[in-house]
Structure 1
Amino acid sequence: MQYSNPGQRWLRHATVEDIPAIEKVFAHARQVMAEGGNPRQWGTKYPYPEMIAADVRNGNTYLLVDNAGETPDATNGTFEAPELEEVRGDHERIIGLFSLFDGEDPAYGDINGAWLDNDPYMTIHRVASSGLGKRAASDIISWCMRHYHNVRIDTGPNNFAMQHILETHHFIRCGTIGVLDNQNPDMDESRLAYHRHDH
């Protein structure tokens, strides 16, 4: 699909060739979180290179992109909601990214609280913005909820921006979960657990 406005966004699966750019987006996201008072959600290392590569290789990573590389002012304005289109723009920019998983998440088995239900669900992980455009996380969450009706996600207790986005999109805070990461001692082990199920 070709978009008449280069600022129009779409989603596509990441490929191995995208990994260096993905790593830069995550580095930017860690910096923004640290500067915003949330340095311990991802620490200084997460997500790890082997994790990034596995997500891409297994088809779990999605990129939110536009084609405004030579016309950055084109991102100003209102466009159609992004959809999945497996095309690469000639002047493509990564606006944001995330990983999406189908099936039970091992980290979600033990919750201090209670999920909304035990029905099959999708899990969103590793949402990050490149800083090249606004509302990246909101576009990502909106797309997921347009296509999947039972979705879980977690975020750091100090990630107030993501908490606001999730609650704006009618996710319910269900409690806390723990994540143990021996590779990254400067990372918090506690996460807020969110769930939305549209019946």
Structure 2
Amino acid sequence: MEYIFRKATLNDLPQIWVILQNAIQRRKEDGSNQWQDGYPNPQIVEKDIEQDAGFVLADGDSIAGYCAILINDEPAYAEIKGKWLTDDNFVVFHRVAISEDHLRKGLSGKMLNYIEDFARNNNINSVKADTNFDNGAMKHVFEKAGYVYCGEVFFRGSSRLAYEKLLT
């Protein structure tokens, strides 16, 4: 299949929200408390899109995945229990979710490749991200893609695992 990674539009919002709702449910079924507090929600995604930070992995008219990508825009990363690999400019991504119809096809890894391309295209050599302690699937994606565990950051009252990858 030929996937296209592009900026999300408000027209994509209904499909994105279904993907996120399913991901929220999967996290719950996995026994995770990640995304069980009303976040993410349609307002967050709408804000991502309006700020040109929302991106989709599209398969024709169908949305296969969603994420938000920001440059140097994660205040919680200023304080880490641990140490980042660099203090340089960085790309950060959040809200990675894959459609139920596209699970187990390696699309999270493919999306990370597009995010890394986005960083390179913006002359940035660092990508940072975080995930919940109990999100084994995302931890596996990070490790497989060469991300290095750097410590813990804190969001909305809870600790999260922080990762960084240096691009060459």
| TM superposition score normalised by structure 1 | 0.77
Alignment of 1:130-141 (within 5 A): 130-133=99-102, 134-141=105-112
| Aligned mates of 2:97, 2:19 — CA distance in 1 | 7
| Aligned mates of 1:8, 1:36 — CA distance in 2 | 30
Give the corresponding residue for 1:57. 50
Give the corresponding residue for 2:5. 11
Letter in 1 for 2:106: R
Letter in 2 for 1:125: H
| Aligned mates of 2:36, 2:14 — CA distance in 1 | 19
Partner-residue secondary structure (3-state), 2:101: coil
Give the corresponding residue for 2:69. 100
Identify, as 1 or 2, the structure richer in helix: 2
Determine if the alignment matches structure 1 residue 169 to structure 2 residue 162.
no
Letter in 1 for 2:72: G
The Cα offsets for residues 59-91 of structure 1, whole Å up to 9 and x where unpaired, read as: 101110112xxxxxxxxxxxxxxxxxxxxxxxx
Instruction: Give the gaps of 5 or more residues in structure 2.
Output: 120-124
Contact preservation (8 Å) 1:30, 1:44: no
Query: Which structure carries more relative contact order (alpha carbon 8 Å, separation 6+)?
Result: 1
Give the corresponding residue for 2:30. 36
Letter in 1 for 2:162: A
The Cα offsets for residues 87-141 of structure 1, whole Å up to 9 and x where unpaired, read as: xxxxx11111100001241010111101001000010111011121122211111
Letter in 2 for 1:117: T
Give 1:37 shift.
2.5
Give the corresponding residue for 2:113. 142
| TM superposition score normalised by structure 2 | 0.90
Determine if the alignment matches structure 1 residue 48 to structure 2 residue 17.
no
Q: Which has the larger radius of gyration?
A: 1
Contact preservation (8 Å) 1:104, 1:120: no
Identify, as 1 or 2, the structure richer in strand: 2
Runs of 4+ aligned structure 1 residues displaced above 6 Å come to: none
Partner-residue secondary structure (3-state), 1:146: helix
Letter in 2 for 1:112: K
Determine if the alignment matches structure 1 residue 20 to structure 2 residue 1.
no
**Equivalent pairs, count:** 161
Instruction: Give the gaps of 5 or more residues in structure 1.
Output: 1-6, 68-91, 182-188
Give 1:50 shift.
2.1
Alignment identity in percent?
A: 30
